[in-house]
Amino acid sequence: MGAGDCVCIIGTNTTACHPVIGLGMMQAKRNGAQLIVIDPREIDLAREADVWLRLRPGTDTPLLSAIAGEIYNAGMVDVESVAASTEGFKEFCEGLAKFDAESVAALSEVAADDIRRAARCIGRARNTAFYYTMGVTQHTTGTNNVLAVSNLALLTGNIGRPKTGVNPLRGQNNVQGSCDMGALPNVLTGYRSVTNDDVRGSFEEAWNVTIPAEKGRTIPEMLNAIEEDKMKGLFVFGENPMRSDPDINHVEHCLHHVEFLVVQDLFLTETAELADVVLPGASFAEKDGTFTSTERRVQRIRAAVSPVGDSKPDWKILAELLERLGRPERYADVKDVFDEMRMLTPTHTGITYERLEAGGIQWPCPDESHAGTPILHVGNCMRGAGKFVPLEHREPAELPDAEYPLTLTTGRVVAHYHTATMTRRCFGLAGTWPEELVEVHPADAAEYGIADGDLIELRSRRGVATGRAWVTRRVPRGLVFMTFHFSESPANILTTSAADPVTGTPQLKVCAVAIRKLTEESTSVESLSIEEHASCHIA
Amino acid sequence: MPHRLNPFILATASKCIGCRACELACAAAHIEGGVSVGSLQAPLSPRLYLTCVGEMRVPVGCRHCEDAPCAAVCPNAAIYRTDRGVQVDESRCVGCKTCIVTCPVGAMEMGQIWENGKPVMRRVANDNSPEGSEMEPALLASKCDLCKDRAGGPACVEACPEQALALIYPDAIKRRRNIQAALALKGTGARAGEVL
Q: What is the pLDDT of residue B44?
A: 87
Q: What is the pLDDT of residue A539?
A: 38
A536 touches B at CB < 8 Å: yes
CATH 3.40.50.740 in chain A: give the residue spans: 175-216+281-362
B63 domain residue, yes or no: yes
CA distance A515 to chain B (A): 24
Which chain B residue has its CA at the smallest distance from A429's CA? B37
At residue A522, the pLDDT reads: 53
For A107-113, what is the mean pLDDT?
96
A22 phi, psi to nearest 5 deg: -60, -45
B88-117: b (≥16 Cβ within 10 Å) or e: beeeebeeeebbeeebeeebbbbbebbeee
Cα distance between residue A170 and residue A60, in whole Å: 19
Q: How far apart are CA B73 and CA A29, in angstroms?
A: 54
DSSP state of A211: P
Please give the share of chain A, as a percent, with pLDDT higher than 90.
85
Contact across the interface for A427 and B45, Cβ inside 8 Å: no
Give how far the C-alpha of residue A317 lies from the chain's centroid of Cα atoms, to the nearest Å: 27
Among the partner residues B33, B36, B44, nearest to A431 by beta-carbon distance: B44
Contact across the interface for A432 and B24, Cβ inside 8 Å: yes
Residue B193 has what pLDDT? 63
Query: Within an 8 Å CB–CB cutoff, is residue B5 touching chain A?
Result: no
Say yes or no: A430 contacts chain B, CB-CB below 8 A.
Answer: yes
The whole-chain average pLDDT of chain A stands at: 92
What pLDDT does residue A528 have?
54
Q: Could B38 and A429 be called an inter-chain contact, meaning their C-beta atoms sit closer than 8 Å?
A: yes
Are the CB atoms for B54 and A443 separated by under 8 Å?
no
CB-based contact B37 A428, cutoff 8 Å: yes
Q: pLDDT class for A536, splitting at 50, 70, 90?
A: very low
Residue B151 inside a domain? The answer is yes
* β-strand pairing of A277-280 with A260-265: parallel
A528 touches chain B (CB under 8 A): no
A389-414: average pLDDT: 95
A327 pLDDT more than 70 = yes
Task: Flag whether pLDDT at A537 surpasses 70.
Answer: no
**Using the beta-carbon criterion (under 8 Å), do B27 and A431 form an inter-chain contact?**
yes
For residue A381, the model assigns a pLDDT of 82
Q: Could you tell me which of A255, A275, A257, A256 has the C-alpha nearest to residue A265? A: A275
Sheet containing A277-280, strands listed edge to edge, beginning at the edge strand earlier in sequence: A233-237, A260-265, A277-280
Cβ contact, residue pair B40, A428, below 8 Å: yes
A530 pLDDT above the threshold of 80: no
Cβ burial, residue B139 (10 Å; 0-12/13-18/19+): middle
Q: Which residues of chain B have pLDDT under 50?
A: 1
Pick the residue of B23, B32, B39 with the most A CBs within 10 A to test the interface with A by mutation: B39
Could you give the CA distance from residue A6 to residue A77 in angstroms, rounded to a whole number?
A: 16
Residues of B in contact with A431 (CB under 8 A): 27, 40, 43-45
Class of domain A5-169: alpha beta
CA angle A267, A270, A272 (to 5 degrees): 60
In this structure, of A102-106, A400-404, A431-435, B73-77, the range with the lowest mean pLDDT score is: A431-435
Residue B68 lies in a domain: yes
Looking at CATH, the fold of the domain delimited by A406-517 is given as: Barwin-like endoglucanases (2.40.40)
Q: Tell me chain A's radius of gyration from C-alpha atoms.
A: 24
Q: Which residue of B lies nearest to A472 if distances are taken between CA atoms? A: B54
B195 inside domain:
no
Distance between A421 CA and the closest CA of chain B, angstroms: 14
Output A221 or A527, whichever has higher pLDDT. Answer: A221
* Residue B102: domain span: 8-185
**What pLDDT score does A77 carry?**
92
Distance from chain centroid for Cα A391 = 22
Distance CA(B48)–CA(B59), nearest Å, equals: 6
Q: Are B76 and B92 in contact (CB under 8 A)?
A: yes
Mean pLDDT computed over A405-432? 92
Question: Residue A507: which of A520, A524, A494 has the closest Cα?
Answer: A494
Q: Is residue B127 part of a domain?
A: yes
The predicted-structure confidence for A452-506, as pLDDT tens digits, reads as follows: 999 999 999 999 999 999 999 999 999 999 999 999 999 999 999 999 999 889 9
Note the pLDDT tens digit of each residue in A156-205. 999 999 999 999 998 888 999 999 999 999 999 999 999 999 999 999 99
pLDDT at B153: 93
Does residue B191 form part of some domain?
no
In a domain, B73, yes or no: yes
User: Among B22, B7, B46, B47, which residue's Cα sits nearest to residue B174?
Assistant: B7
pLDDT in tens, A55-87: 999 999 999 999 999 999 999 999 999 999 999
A337-373 as b/e, with b when 16 or more CB fall inside 10 Å? bbeebbebbbbbbbbbbebbeeebbbbbbeeeeeebb
Burial class (CB in 10 A: 0-12, 13-18, 19+), A513: buried
Number of domains in chain B: 1
- Which of A428, A537, A538 faces B44 most closely, judged by CB atoms? A428
Distance between B24 CA and the closest CA of chain A, angstroms: 8
Chain B residues inside the 8 Å CB shell of A432:
24, 37, 44
Supply the CATH classification number for the domain A175-216+281-362: 3.40.50.740
Cα A102–A108–A114 angle (5° rounding)?
A: 60
Which phi and psi angles does A289 have, rounded to 5°?
A: 145, -145
Mean pLDDT score, A269-290: 95
Q: Where in chain A is the domain with CATH 3.40.228.10?
A: 5-169
By C-alpha distance, which of B16, B34, B43, B23 is closest to B144? B23
Domain(s) labelled CATH 2.40.40.20 in chain A stretch across: 406-517
